[in-house]
Amino acid sequence: MSAVQRVAWVTGAGRGIGEVTARELAAAGYKVAVSARTVNDVERVAESICAAGGIAVAVPCDVTLPASVSAAAGRISAALGVVGVLINNAGAAESHKFVGHDDELWQRMLNANLNSVYFVTKSVVGGMVAANWGRIVTVASIAARVGGKYIAAYTASKHGVLGLTRALAVELVAHNITVNAVCPGYVDTAMTANSVENISRRTNTSLDEARAALEKLNPQQRLIAPAEVARVVLMLAGEASAGITGQAINVDGGMVMS
């Protein structure tokens, strides 16, 4: 790999899909910037990657704030070099029926899931264009492909991510930059655990029953493992995926058959 191809930035890397993705990239030889809002989480992940023989730096960052993103991009460039692989993984999920929907919730979902991708991608794409090479992969959701009740804000933000992915793929293709999305179903992470608790509370069912309800949405009758998503991201980050751009790859056990 060239110098630019070796540097990856993973947002939301303090836990879940982002943490596993950062570890997979490091194991594959990438120098990895690990970012999230929680300092302890990113330091733990970066330190463990380095202890295993990889190269990683912890860069706390709030991806919803342009100034924080700009500062993080500067730190990463100084520590590792030009970012050639960007993994937009940071995000959040909240639900509410649309009647009486909270405007603040709407804005939070747009900021966490869509505006963040815009800010972070904008902060590094100039370096990719200058290097004439890049990989941009955004972890979206099957909510980017289909609608769902009680998640209007989340669904709208993830549909927006897919639109941005497709627009950038067309605009950046001449610079040898690919732009893709990965769309997981329900993944066995802390975020899904929060959803299970919410379902349990609202439906007056046990946590096991609430989890089983989510598992049944997957034709394989299970939650997706974070590593399954991370390995698709890793594939899209490499040279072997040079011919794949503007795509949304589902990792959902067949929930969305399209």
Element holding 216 (H helix, E strand): none
Residues 6+ apart with CB under 8 A from 203: 210
253, 225 contact by CB (below 8 A): no
Instruction: Return the SS3 of 185.
Output: coil
Buried b (16+ CB within 10 A) or exposed e, 177-193: bbbbbbbbbbbbbebbe
Residue type, 225: A
Choose among 45, 117, 44, 33: nearest CA to 74: 33
6, 79 contact by CB (below 8 A): no
Q: Please, which residues bridge with residue 7 across strands? A: 31
> How far, in Å, CA of 52 to CA of 141, rounded?
31
> How far, in Å, CA of 185 to CA of 241, rounded?
22
Residue type, 149: K
Q: Write down the catalytic residue from 118, 150, 154, 186.
A: 154
Q: Does the annotation count 30 as an active-site position?
A: no
Q: What tokens does 203 get?
A: 């439906």
Please give the positions annotated as active site. Answer: 154
